[in-house]
Chains A and B, each alone.
Chain A
Amino acid sequence: AQSVTQLDSQVPVFEEAPVELRCNYSSSVSVYLFWYVQYPNQGLQLLLKYLSGSTLVKGINGFEAEFNKSQTSFHLRKPSVHISDTAEYFCAVTLYNFNKFYFGSGTKLNVKP
């Protein structure tokens, strides 16, 4: 069975500081990996995805993530956060042959001035 673990439920950080949101997954088969962001009272918006190729993936709003197969991780990073990055972030995986997504429990990023 597949599962996604987001190790931190909340991450407080000051504006312009770097941030890393951690995501680990478990799967016995190859998966595709995604990060989504959810702002209050909105749906989820795709930040970035890893399908194959380069393990460093760049997404929107200056975010990037690195796929590490040996550690089964897909951590999200941003070198300098803004107040507007305050939101909840979800890591998700899907199997190659299915369209069913497994989501982590989410990490609330709180950027302080």
Chain B
Amino acid sequence: KAGVTQTPRYLIKTRGQQVTLSCSPISGHRSVSWYQQTPGQGLQFLFEYFSETQRNKGNFPGRFSGRQFSNSRSEMNVSTLELGDSALYLCASSSGQPGNQPQHFGDGTRLSIL
């Protein structure tokens, strides 16, 4: 069974630009969550999508947005990039059933802002 696939693995952007990251979940998984990982803040939850609807949301500004398609693939978009957005962005998928299903993570997209 293929794991969670994130593309691209590495990305370099400049301040003010926007970026779109992609995540393909494990086949059959309907929930996709996004996390931002930085050395200073650790793993911070961005949002979770389930069946094309945002079900949970973290405390990030509106510049961070996402969507999920009917095949459960998800994209995350960050607009007006800031230096502080440099981070490893991780996507995780699960069946989406209440609570007890572990999340399976992709290898992440490392975003660097110049």
- Contact flags (1/0) for A89-111 with B, using CB distance below 8 Å? 01000111111111111100000
Residue ID in chain B nearest A31 by CB atoms:
B99
Q: Does A28 contact B (CB under 8 A)?
A: no
Q: Does B72 contact A (CB under 8 A)?
A: no
Q: Does A71 contact B (CB under 8 A)?
A: no
A-B contact count (CB 8 A): 66
The count of residues in chain A whose C-beta lies closer than 8 Å to any C-beta of chain B is 25
**Contact between B102 and A43, CB atoms less than 8 A apart:** no
The complex places the Cα of A99 from the Cα of B96 at a distance, in Å, of 7
A101 and B100 contact, Cβ closer than 8 Å, known pairs A44-B90, A90-B43, A106-B42: no
Partner of B48, one of A95, A99, A102, A103: A99
Q: Does A55 contact B (CB under 8 A)?
A: no
Partner of B56, one of A32, A34, A99: A99
Q: Does B33 contact A (CB under 8 A)?
A: yes
Can you list 26 pairs linking A and B with CB atoms under 8 Å apart? Answer: A32-B99, A34-B102, A41-B107, A42-B108, A43-B6, A43-B90, A43-B107, A44-B90, A46-B104, A94-B100, A96-B98, A96-B99, A97-B98, A97-B99, A98-B56, A98-B98, A99-B33, A99-B48, A99-B50, A99-B56, A100-B45, A100-B48, A101-B45, A101-B92, A103-B35, A103-B45
Q: Does A7 contact B (CB under 8 A)?
A: no
Q: Does B26 contact A (CB under 8 A)?
A: no
